[in-house]
Amino acid sequence: GDQRAMGGRCASPGRVSPMDAPQTTLPPEPSADLPAPLAERLAKLAPDQRAAATAPPGPVLCIAPAGSGKTTTLVARIAWLIGGPVRAEPATVMAITFNKRAQEEMAARLGPALEPLGVDAAAVRVRTFHALGREILLDAGAAVEPLVERAILLAELLPEASPAERRRLDTAFSRLKLD
């Protein structure tokens, strides 16, 4: 799965997206001066994925269909930012996802990517848009007590339900929000 083409776009504000630029040359192969685990991870990426993963520091927005390798690309980008030439402090790197499931998947994949670099994956902030908003409100001193974590509420309301049943109900609530 890691070598599929993105089939979408990744863009850095103020720069040409690697997918929009004329493709006269392929992105460079990973440099020998990178830690071996990082060089191996980057080498497994398709050219468009590698271009997105190694784009200059700054925000990158990846839009592509399901199963195209967005999470793989973003995990490689985070590893590159931290273990590559940028040497970003993990606490300064953030990944924002649209939903909890994507956030959990991203967080789970960061462990194997960052551990060989000697970095605790928990040091990188991986949040959903909603969790980030809540965090910003808390940091600003706003009262967020009226906000409820759905997983906790479902566990309180349905203690007899299995975690899988609660996830299915949570997914149904998420779909209702989109309709």
pLDDT tens for 112-167 read 999 999 999 999 999 999 889 989 999 999 888 766 778 888 889 899 999 899 88
The model scores a pTM over 0.85: no
pLDDT at 98: 86
| β-strands 94-97, 61-63 pairing | unpaired
- Region 71-87: what's the mean pLDDT? 95
pLDDT at 139: 93
pLDDT at 32: 59
Helix boundaries (H) for 20-128: 36-43, 47-53, 70-83, 100-114
Residue 27 DSSP one-character state: P
Q: What are the Cα distances from residue 26, in Å, to 69, 93, 143?
A: 18, 27, 50
Q: Where does the pLDDT of residue 17 fall: very low under 50, low under 70, confident under 90, or very high at 90 and above? A: very low
pLDDT at 10: 60
